[in-house]
Amino acid sequence: MEVPGTIRAVRITEHGGPERLELVEVAVPVPREGEVLVRVGAVALNNTDLWTREGSYGRPGAPDALSGWRGPIDFPRIQGADVVGRVVAVGVDAEESLLGRRMLVDPAIHDSGGPGANPVGLMGSERDGGYAEYVTVPMERVHDVTESPLTDEQLAALPIAYGTALGMIERGGAEEGGTVVVSGASGGVGLALVQLARERGARVLAISSGSKIDSVREAGAHHVVDRAQGIVEQIRTVAPEGIDIVLDVIAGDFSGEGLPLLREGGRWVVAGALGGYDVNFDVRRLYLHNNRIIGSAMHAPRHFDLLVDLARRAGIQPVVAATFPLEQAARTQEELARREHVGKIVMHP
Ligand SMILES: NC(=O)c1ccc[n+]([C@@H]2O[C@H](COP(=O)([O-])OP(=O)(O)OC[C@H]3O[C@@H](n4cnc5c(N)ncnc54)[C@H](OP(=O)(O)O)[C@@H]3O)[C@@H](O)[C@H]2O)c1
């Protein structure tokens, strides 16, 4: 396949509002040793795109400092972690057999090569991502999904949202027959949690709001509580026996007030803080009941392998809320920030 000399990409050169996203013409990236060049078929958006652009992650001891999730961002940066596309060129020592194959990209940069390695970087944050027509990726991060019945849009919905959800479920030890609570359930990660926990045979209680409640129920939740009306009381009413695992992307007051919902040995897995990062709770509720709080950042390689298997056999049907062209990246991020959608928002380069 002919690769052009220049490509269109959307990049940021400093932290700020959506107006910082600029459409530019840049030289096509050249795959380095062990890398491949992927023509982007679809790229999905994530909350991390907003926080990275804004610099909203803070730093230890300076919660309001402008920062990416791992520290300072090296500008200019092309955003976009969730990429599916075809390999169109390979670098030195990369496998030529990958040429022409449709690939799901694992966007994480891990701290070691082991199956349980920790993510310490991310495409679109610590290296350029898929808000572009082409992107380079290390060969070992691309996974062949050529035969998957899922569309490019559905596949692009998977890496961060479903990878994070699988990481939470695996780290929390979700078991068949257990009762789980999912917060932020209409969002990308939340809906993935609902679908995956249901697929594992858990009883799924979800938290959502307004008109999105019906969609969350359709995605597989056994019961949905409205976060506008006393979340903890509603959950206690439908699950008086207590909760095995809370899969939480909201934190804030919900974590502090909700901790006593856990039954003996229960786990609270937290992966997001849309409701606030400063959490107060009564520590006695933790140790007197052998409860655990587990922080969960994205996925380990072994979680991504599970995800690729699901993608290949369409074991999950990701929900795509809307698609936009790359030129409308700013509008697309604003759409994500409105949080009126259910599922994933995707762009086409
Ligand atoms: N740890 C990780 O590796 C990791 C990876 C991916 C994402 N995350 C984090 O997980 C969170 C969710 O990400 P996402 O991509 O799923 O976001 P999303 O698609 O925007 O969905 C978030 C959902 O949470 C609910 N919500 C929003 N603001 C809320 C608030 N103040 N209080 C309570 N509920 C609220 C809304 O659903 P309802 O209106 O239906 O309640 C919203 O649709 C973010 O904080 C993100 O940074 C973490």
| pLDDT digit string, tens, across residues 84-119 | 999 999 999 999 999 999 999 999 999 998 999 999
Band the pLDDT of 175: cuts 50, 70, 90. Answer: confident
Residue 104 near residue 155, CB atoms below 8 Å? yes
Residue 287 structure tokens? 């140790």
Task: Report how far ligand 1's centroid is from the alpha carbon of 80 (Å).
Answer: 17
- The CA-based angle 100-124-148, given to 5 degrees, is 35
Task: Give every CB contact of residue 339 below 8 A, 6+ residues apart in sequence.
Answer: 186, 187
Q: Any idea which residue has 């007030």 for tokens? A: 257
Interatomic CA distance for residues 155 and 145, integer angstroms: 9
Interatomic CA distance for residues 142 and 39, integer angstroms: 12
| pLDDT digit string, tens, across residues 228-283 | 999 999 999 999 999 999 999 999 999 999 999 999 999 999 999 999 999 999 99
Q: Any idea which residue has 């609570």 for tokens? A: 181
Band the pLDDT of 2: cuts 50, 70, 90. Answer: confident
Of ligand 1's atoms, which has the minimum distance to the CA of residue 191? 16
> Percent of the chain, pLDDT > 70?
100
Specify the range with the lowest mean pLDDT, choosing from 150-154, 176-180, 260-264: 176-180
Residue of 118, 334, 339, 342 best suited for mutating to test ligand 1, as the one with most atoms within 8 Å of CB:
339
Q: Whole-prediction pTM value?
A: 0.95
Residue 318 near residue 166, CB atoms below 8 Å? no
Pocket residues: Cβ below 6 A from ligand 1: 46-48, 51, 160, 164, 184-190, 208-209, 212, 227, 249-250, 271-275, 296-298, 339
Angle between helices 301-312 and 159-172 (to 10 degrees): 120
* Count of C-beta atoms within a 10 Å radius of residue 127: 17
Residue 78 near residue 126, CB atoms below 8 Å? no
Task: Report how far ligand 1's centroid is from the alpha carbon of 337 (Å).
Answer: 10
Task: Report how far ligand 1's centroid is from the alpha carbon of 271 (Å).
Answer: 9
Residue of 45, 46, 47 best suited for mutating to test ligand 1, as the one with most atoms within 8 Å of CB:
47
* Count of C-beta atoms within a 10 Å radius of residue 114: 11
Task: Report how far ligand 1's centroid is from the alpha carbon of 42 (Å).
Answer: 21
What is the chain's length?
A: 349
Residue 165 near residue 189, CB atoms below 8 Å? yes
Q: What is the pLDDT of residue 140?
A: 95
The single-letter code of the amino acid at 158 is L
Separation of CA 259 from chain center:
24
Nearest CA to ligand 1 atom 28: 274
Band the pLDDT of 79: cuts 50, 70, 90. Answer: very high
Interatomic CA distance for residues 81 and 104, integer angstroms: 11
Does pLDDT of 1 surpass 90?
A: no
